[in-house]
Amino acid sequence: MSGPLLFLGGVLFVAIGIAVSIALHEVGHLVPAKLFKVRVTRYMIGFGPTVFSRKKGETEYGVKALPLGGYVQMIGMYPPNPEDGTMRASSTGMFQNLAQQASEEVGPEDGNRVFYKLPVWKKIVVMLGGPAMNIVLGILFTAILLMGFGSAQPTTTLSSVSACQVVQGEKEPAPGEKCTPAPAAAAGLKPGDRIVSFDGKPATDWNSLTEQIRQSAGRKVPVVIQRGDQTIDTTVTPVLTARPVTGTDGQPKKDASGKVVTQDVGFIGVGPRQALVPQGPETVLPAVGTQITQVSHVVLDLPARVIGVAKAAFSSEPRDPNGPISVVGVGRVAGEVSAMEEIPLEARIASLIGILAGLNFALAIFNLIPLPPLDGGHVAGALYEAVRRGIARIFRRPDPGPFDLAKLLPVTYTVAGLLLVMSVVLIYADIVKPVKLFG
C-alpha cells in the first residue's frame, strides 16, 4: 500500500474511533436517563442538519452533518421558567445546549419524567455516565495496547552506534571531521548487532547491560555479539564520561535551574532497538493512572497552553510537541504514524490504539471541568442543590427546590465561547504550523 493511502487509512481509523467514542459517551448519558424513566427525545451524533434519523419508541436516534460531538436531549433538564411556567429545552451537548433555549412541550404524562425532578444522586449518575464511558474505553484501549501488542522496551539489539566520542552537551563532529572513535565503533560493533554477553555475563536485558557498561570504565571487556548467522567475539573499553542521570520514567533528571543532571560513568556509544513486549494485566491500571495524570495537567493548564500555541502559530517560535492539538492535529499524527513504512505494521497499529486511549481520557477529564455547559457543570449544579436543600433541612426552612442551572447561562455562554475560540486557534495552528513529532 502506498504512503498516501496509508496516511488516509490512519486518519480514517482514528476518525472512526473518535466518532465511536463520542457515540458511546452519549450512550453513557442515555442509558441511566432511561433507567431512571426520564423522557429522552433525541440521541444525536454530530451537529447541524440531520443526515439520517429514525424514531424508536419516544426517542429519535440520528446522525448529523458535522461529526464534532453529540448530544442527548432530555425533557426538563431545567426547571420551568419562573415567568410563564414553560419548560426550557436543553441537552448534554455543549453547543446544542446553547442552541436549544426555546421552550419544549411537556405533556401530563411527563410530570414525573423530567430530569430536574430526579434525586441529586440520579442527576449525578446521568451526567457522569458520559465521562465514565470514556474512562472505560480508555482502560479498554490501554489493555489492548499493553496486553495485546505490548509496550516499547529497549532490547540488546543495537539501533545505533556512535562514530565519535562526544562530551555531554557538545555537538557531534560533522561527517568527515576527525574525532576520537567511540569505544563501540572502535570495537567494530554495528547497528543491528545483538549483544549476547558482556564481560562473560549473558546480556538478558538492556537495563542490566547498561549498568554493566557504566561500571566497567577503563577496563577492556570481552563482548560476544550476534550478527546475522555469525557469532563474533571482540573486546570493548568503556570510557569514563559524563552521562545524564535518568529517573524512573526513563527521562533525564534536571536540577532546579533546568540543567540536565550528569554523573561520570562508563560509556561505549550505542543505542538500543525498541521492541513491543506484551505486558501483564497488572500493568494496565498503573499505566492508566500515569496517562490520566499527564492529560489532567494539560487540561488544567489549557488556556495558557493554547496561548502558547497561538504565539507559535503567528510567529517563528516552534510549537511545543507536548502541547494541545485539535482533531485536525490528531488526524495528521495518525496519518503520519500509519505512513511510516520503516516501522513494523504491528507497532503502527499499537500507536493508533494508544492515540484513541489518550483521546478518551482527555474527553473524560475535559468534560469533568465543573463549569456549564460541560458535564462537570451539571454535576456541580446538582451538588450545590444537595447542599442548599441540606442546609434548609438543618435550619427547618422550606425546601428551596431544584437548582435552576439556567441562572448560569451567562457563564455557559462565556465558557462555550472561550472553548470555541480555543478550538479555532488549535485547528488553525495544526494547519499552518503542525506539531513535528517525527522530524
Which residues are the active-site residues? Answer: 26
Going by C-beta distance under 8 Å and a sequence separation of 6 or more, which residues neighbour residue 96? 44, 47, 69, 71, 73
Please state, in angstroms and as integers, the Cα–Cα distance from residue 355 to each residue in 168, 297, 335, 346, 388, following that order: 33, 17, 12, 14, 42
- What is the distance between the alpha carbons of residues 112 and 172, in angstroms, rounded to a whole number? 74
Residue with cell 427547618: 396
Per-residue cell: 147? 496486553
How many Cβ atoms from other residues are within 10 Å of residue 341's Cβ? 12
What is the spatial distance between Cα 362 and Cα 137, in angstroms, rounded to a whole number? Answer: 11
